[in-house]
Amino acid sequence: MSVPSHLLADEKAPVCRLEIQPHFDNLSAKEKLYAHHISKASFAGTRVVLRQVSPESEPLFDLILTVARHVENDFSKIVEACNVTEDEKNKFAEFGAQVLANLGNYKSFGDQKFVPRIPEETFTKIASITPEAAKLWEGIKKQVYQISPEGITLLGYPPDHMSAYYPDSPAITQADIEACGETFVKNGVLVEHTRLKQLDDGSFDMLVASEKVGEGSVYETKDGRKIRTVYGDHSKEMKVMSDELDGAKKAALNDTQEKMMEEYVKSFREGSLEAHKESQRYWIKDIGPTIETNIGFIETYRDPAGTKAYFEGWVAVVNKERTKVFGKLVERAGDFIPKLPWSKDFEKDKFQKPDFTSLEGNDGIPAGINIPNYDDIRMTLGFKNVSLGNVLNAKSPSEKVTFIDEKDLPLFERLRGPAFELQVGLHELLGHGSGKLLQETEKGVFNFDKESPPVSPLTGKPVTTYYKVGETWGSVFGATAASYEECRAECVAMYLCPDREILEVFGHTDDTEAAAEDVLYISYLQMARAGLLALEFWDPKTKARTTF
């Protein structure tokens, strides 16, 4: 069976260099040590991510590194050693680079599988370069090239699609997953750091990421099936993380960071998400740090149920000059939020001014981040925003700009950075940072006037629904929760970016080199182009998006 072109690994993919050296060089020895330990802890999560993508991702990762070590990273040696052509060698290297960049054989943005551009026989010849690589390849070669049934090429609910959040569970269904989800909500169980395994008798193991190994509470679904709590998923990796974060604790730059690291360690050693929530409370209180970081099971985009999160860890250096701009936006947030097209009843009683920093970080992280995602913490303590300056400005010299008219191209090239910074700043602070969930916080207690509820700006009538006790955004909206929230934040950014006062906060007026009207024009042009590029992630056969 021939492989459809959209499933083939990228050819000559653009590579962007992220500049951070000057910022890192300015750190003190203690700051560098603090960053070093957190970086090591983050990298220890590599295999956790691989295991959250597909069963073949981790052995494929090992195979690529085994070959690279054997040829001492000189892939030209493969040509003679394996009797392959220069083109075949290049295609193997490009596939390997894509696996390493995505930490798996499914795109980290798009959730679609990609397969090598070389035949299976050629890949087998290259893998035979060492006995270790050959053995790894023998166990996964069918999965790497598998594209049928078609659903297996997309992450989603098993058994029709691929999801490693439900390992060794060939018979598990969406109904099974939802039944367990209802049980977890009913019992107040946090599942972001878990995976779910169905046993032969139809019962389940909830696999908890932790250094400790053992069993915990047992729950029961509505139809009487048991769910057993099993600690020790990724135990080896969680120990390495905990040990490194212990080192970061010793190098912490203040008491708040020390307590934050202490809670991270407790969370990863014991499998306690309550400890992780406590770490996030300290993180919010760590205002204006030189080194910014976060680590844990954070975003739920890739779990089809929208409740289990993938691991991520990052550490970055604050860019103090750009941070001043975002600080001005934070100070004026109380002036800008009321301009949104809904009443104050849909906003928090008091806007918690967050820390908003511009960072210089390493690869694999987005242009902007707004966390924590725990609703109860966001409602009471608030959140923090970060903007990754070197990611915002990263551009490959070989990148071809599509869908932009020739007459707009010079302006687009010149202002795409400032326009994207405007969009990301508004998206993160006033998009994710605005609004509140109407909730029954505990039985009979509401965070809004239940007898005289807010009037919907869409219907003109009082709202009739709200979140019940134990319900969260993710548990209610499931797989669409993340995309829904991202679209909401994006719409807020597009709604507010024409505001002249906001444009001036970012340094754009009629008299500046990056003129306000031009930046606004490129902001909308950039969003329109993003919409066209997003069509790549629509699968007409399955009638589904391949990303959220």
pLDDT of residue 327: 82
Query: Residue 96, CB half-sphere, CA atoms under 13 Å: how many?
Result: 19
pLDDT of residue 535: 84
Alpha-carbon distance of 517 to 509, in angstroms, equals: 8
- Residue 370's beta-bridge partner residues? 385
Catalytic residue numbers, as ranges: 428
DSSP 308: S
DSSP secondary structure of 158-182: TTTSB-TTSTT-TT--HHHHHHHHH
pLDDT of residue 224: 97
299 in a domain, yes or no? no
Same domain, 128 and 180: no
Q: Pick from 106, 97, 101, 95: which is nearest to 54 by CA?
A: 106
Q: What angle do CA 421, 424, 425 make, to 5 degrees?
A: 80
| Domain total of the chain | 3
Alpha-carbon distance of 146 to 530, in angstroms, equals: 30
Same domain, 147 and 222: no
pLDDT of residue 398: 65
Residue type, 177: I
Same domain, 61 and 149: yes
pLDDT of residue 475: 81
375 in a domain, yes or no? yes
Same domain, 328 and 462: yes
pLDDT of residue 33: 97
Alpha-carbon distance of 146 to 165, in angstroms, equals: 19
List strand residue ranges (DSSP E) for 85-238, in order. 194-198, 204-209, 214-220, 226-233
275 in a domain, yes or no? no
Contacts of residue 423, defined as CB under 8 A and 6 or more positions apart, other chains included, come to 490, 493, 494, 497, 523, 526, 527
Same domain, 181 and 144: no
300 in a domain, yes or no? no
Contacts of residue 504, defined as CB under 8 A and 6 or more positions apart, other chains included, come to 516
Same domain, 401 and 540: yes
Are residues 106 and 112 in contact, defined by beta-carbon separation less than 8 angstroms?
A: yes
CA 253 to chain centre: 27
What tokens were used for 44? 């220890």
* pTM beyond 0.85, yes or no: no
Same domain, 96 and 226: no
- Residue 387's beta-bridge partner residues? 358, 368
What tokens were used for 448? 């809004």
> What is the domain extent for residue 195?
174-234
307 in a domain, yes or no? no
164, 199, 234 - which closes a domain: 234
pLDDT of residue 297: 97
pLDDT of residue 396: 66
Same domain, 121 and 184: no
Residue 63 three-state SS: helix
443 in a domain, yes or no? yes
pLDDT of residue 50: 98
Rg (CA), the chain: 24
Residue 358 three-state SS: strand
Same domain, 435 and 513: yes
- Residue 230's beta-bridge partner residues? 207, 215
3-state SS string for 427-491 = HHHHHCCCCCCCEEEECCEECCCCCCCCECCCCCCECCCCECCCCCHHHHHHHHHHHHHHHHHHH
Contacts of residue 284, defined as CB under 8 A and 6 or more positions apart, other chains included, come to 354, 355, 372, 377, 381, 382, 383, 384
90, 122, 153 - which closes a domain: 153
Cis peptide before 159 (omega within 30 of 0): yes
With 0-12 / 13-18 / 19 or more C-beta atoms within 10 angstroms meaning exposed / middle / buried, residue 511 is exposed
Q: What angle do CA 302, 308, 313 make, to 5 degrees?
A: 75
Same domain, 128 and 194: no
Residue 27 three-state SS: coil
pLDDT of residue 481: 82
Alpha-carbon distance of 430 to 339, in angstroms, equals: 11
290 in a domain, yes or no? no
Are residues 106 and 72 in contact, defined by beta-carbon separation less than 8 angstroms?
A: no
Are residues 447 and 439 in contact, defined by beta-carbon separation less than 8 angstroms?
A: yes
CA distances from 245 to 107, 168, 260, 287 (A): 29, 31, 10, 20
pLDDT of residue 548: 43
| Span between the terminal Cα atoms of the chain, in Å | 29
Same domain, 227 and 194: yes
276 in a domain, yes or no? no
pLDDT of residue 378: 81
Q: Pick from 17, 379, 311: which is nearest to 164 by CA?
A: 311
Alpha-carbon distance of 28 to 35, in angstroms, equals: 11
DSSP 407: T
pLDDT of residue 319: 75
pLDDT of residue 17: 76
CA distances from 163 to 31, 141, 359, 466 (A): 39, 18, 33, 31
183, 202, 234 - which closes a domain: 234
pLDDT of residue 45: 97
Same domain, 405 and 534: yes
Alpha-carbon distance of 180 to 204, in angstroms, equals: 9
Residuewise pLDDT in 10s, the chain (548 residues): 688 998 999 998 877 777 788 888 889 999 999 999 999 999 999 999 999 999 999 999 999 999 999 999 999 999 999 999 999 999 999 999 999 999 999 998 889 999 999 999 999 999 999 999 999 999 999 999 999 999 999 999 999 999 999 999 999 999 999 999 999 999 999 999 999 999 999 999 999 999 999 999 999 999 999 999 999 999 999 999 999 999 999 999 999 999 999 999 999 999 999 999 999 999 999 988 899 999 999 999 899 999 999 999 999 887 777 777 778 888 898 899 999 999 999 998 877 766 666 555 554 556 667 778 887 888 788 878 766 665 656 666 667 888 999 999 999 999 998 998 899 889 888 888 888 899 998 899 999 999 999 999 999 999 999 999 988 888 888 778 878 888 999 999 999 999 999 999 999 999 999 999 999 999 999 999 989 988 877 767 666 665 44
Q: What angle do CA 56, 364, 251 make, to 5 degrees?
A: 110
Q: Pick from 39, 302, 77: which is nearest to 195 by CA?
A: 302
